[in-house]
Structure 1
Amino acid sequence: MHVVMTSAGIGRIEGASVAVLDAPYPDPNALIEATGSLDALAEAEVVRRIPLDGGDLGGEPGGEPCLRAPLARPRALWGVGLNYHSKAELTGRPVPDDPVLYLAASSSVGAPGAAVRLPAEQTGQMDYEAEIAVVIGRTLDRASEDRAWAAVAAVTAANDMTARDVMKRTGTPALAKSFPGFTPLGASLLARDAIADPAAIGVRSLVGGQPRQDSSSADMIFAIPELLARISRYAVLRPGDVVLTGTPAGTGQDRGDFLRPGDTVRVEVDGVLPLTTRIQA
């Protein structure tokens, strides 16, 4: 199942089009919280079809539907600080024995294709982080790794943007990552059953069309099932929670080259529609 949220309602991707569905839920968040998965959309009636390549989903000229954040209001937004071997090797940081975890404000979630304001009064080091985002479908409380992966509803792409100087100045990830729009999610959700191997999900970023990051979940220090299981030892994960799983080497911090107004960041996760974000002054 491959699902999007449009301004016309929940959609199911079918070939080169989006099938807008007659679904009894306002958005995928509500569906996942109620049922634990996206499965209920498989038999939903199609009310209209929109071409994926026709430009209709890029905006609303003439009132045409556009893509919205498929997870606009996650219950909790978890992140992990260092979770790729490539990042540890490049920065010379030791591989952690336990994941470095944090919570960010869910109000930072933005829509695919949206413009995000560079908060210049607070930061001069706005950075991008391409990440695989995991959506929890069933409650996890001190769960095993096998049970943790079985409880996943879907994955999507995330750009876990960070104000690096705010992080250094305050020592608080939540402040560095919670500016409005700093966590774009989407552009689509890929159901867990459509993922052959959680240890082989590709993730990439491009800035201004130039490749910046290129890796996969195979390089993770804590694999996705292990990461979820470890979090669940300390905090209960509930349906609708989103876990960002870390970013590989190649961020602006690694390159000494941060985002500027006019930049466009594209995040690609295997099986998911590309997530683009525009930076504005």
Structure 2
Amino acid sequence: MRLYRTTAGLARGEGDELALLDLPHLDVADLLSEGIERARRARVRSRIPIHDAVLLSPVALPGTVVIAGANYRDHVTEAGMPTPTAPVFITVTGMSATGPHDPILLPAEAPSQVDYEAELAVVISRPGRDIPVGRAWDHVAGLIAVNDVSARDVQLAAMTEGVVTDIDGVRRGKSFPHFKPMGPALVTVDETGTDLDLAIRTYVNDEVRQDSRTSEMIFSVPEVISHVSATTPLLPGDVVLTGTPGGVALATGHYLRSGDVVTVEIEGLGRLRNPVRMAPTAPR
């Protein structure tokens, strides 16, 4: 099942149409309180062409966004980081979550080194702590694409030789408004399977910047979930990002500029396409 959140409510993707569902839930996280399967059984109240829908982030406001780092070898190499022996991650709030076509906003205080990061992410379906690797998929509602936008100058000021020395500084570099485009749909695991080998790409103005496969991850999705849950309880609607491949602007110096358009594609999950704009300045 492909489950979308739109301005007209939750919808199932059915070919080139969206079946708008007769559900009271505001977003996927709200639906998870009763189980994702309710969306499969829900009555269809109307249908619209998918290209006519205004798509929103499937989870309106994740309670926690887990950001795994250093999980593709080529990215570890280009970033000059040590190869991890276990998953590494930080957590941020969901305040930066935004829709699959919303603008990425360059913050006024740090506009010059804003980077893209294509990431496969999972949405947590039920609470868990100390989740065994073999049971991790039982806690997954589905998969989404995320662009883990980062202000590198802010982030790197909080690191020394690839090692985090100021966790709050790293969080700040990844938490500006509109820094986490998500979507376009939550795709349930029965659609993708659990042996993930999905193409993952980023384009900036139609130029390929990242081109890899999720099978190149150092740690699998279940290993990331298990490791995170050992210290961070996971709750329904939390979003767990699993790392980005090589090709980021940190390595090339080709950072985002106002007027750019960033496209993140993950095979079987869909496409994020976000214009880049300067953030509006606060009135004096």
**Superposition TM-score, scaled by structure 1 size:** 0.92
Partner of 1:56: 52
Aligned pairs for 1:86-101 within 5 A: 86-101=74-89
Aligned pairs for 1:48-197 within 5 A: 48-52=46-50, 55-57=51-53, 66-170=54-158, 171=166, 172-197=169-194
> Which consecutive segments of 4 or more residues in structure 1 shift more than 4 A?
none
The amino acid of 2:217's aligned partner reads M
Partner of 1:17: 17
CA drift at 1:278:
1.0
2: CA distance, partners of 1:186 / 1:227:
20
Q: 1:263 aligns with which of 233, 256, 260?
A: 260
Q: Is the 8 A contact 1:198 1:217 kept in 2?
A: no
Instruction: Percent identity, please.
Output: 39
Q: Specify whether residues 200 and 114 from structure 1 end up closer, same or farther in structure 2 by C-alpha distance, changes over 3 A only.
A: same
CA drift at 1:206:
0.7
**Superposition TM-score, scaled by structure 2 size:** 0.91
**Per-residue deviation, residues 2-45 of structure 1 (Å, max 9, x unmatched):** 0111111101000111111101312111012x034x21111211
2: CA distance, partners of 1:271 / 1:79:
22
Residue 39, structure 1, aligned to residue 37, structure 2: yes
CA drift at 1:204:
1.2
Give the secondary-structure state (helix, strand or coil) at the position aligned to 1:204: strand
The amino acid of 1:35's aligned partner reads E
1: CA distance, partners of 2:195 / 2:233:
21
Q: Is the 8 A contact 1:83 1:245 kept in 2?
A: yes
**Per-residue deviation, residues 225-252 of structure 1 (Å, max 9, x unmatched):** 0010011111211111110111000111
2: CA distance, partners of 1:278 / 1:92:
29
The amino acid of 2:57's aligned partner reads A
Q: Is the 8 A contact 2:79 2:250 kept in 1?
A: no
Residue 276, structure 1, aligned to residue 264, structure 2: no
The amino acid of 2:172's aligned partner reads L
CA drift at 1:164:
0.3
Q: Is the 8 A contact 2:96 2:177 kept in 1?
A: yes
The amino acid of 1:252's aligned partner reads A
Aligned residues: 269
Q: Is the 8 A contact 1:2 1:189 kept in 2?
A: yes
Please say which of residues 198-207 and 39-48 is displaced more in the overlay.
198-207
CA drift at 1:92:
4.4
CA drift at 1:194:
1.6
Give the secondary-structure state (helix, strand or coil) at the position aligned to 1:112: coil
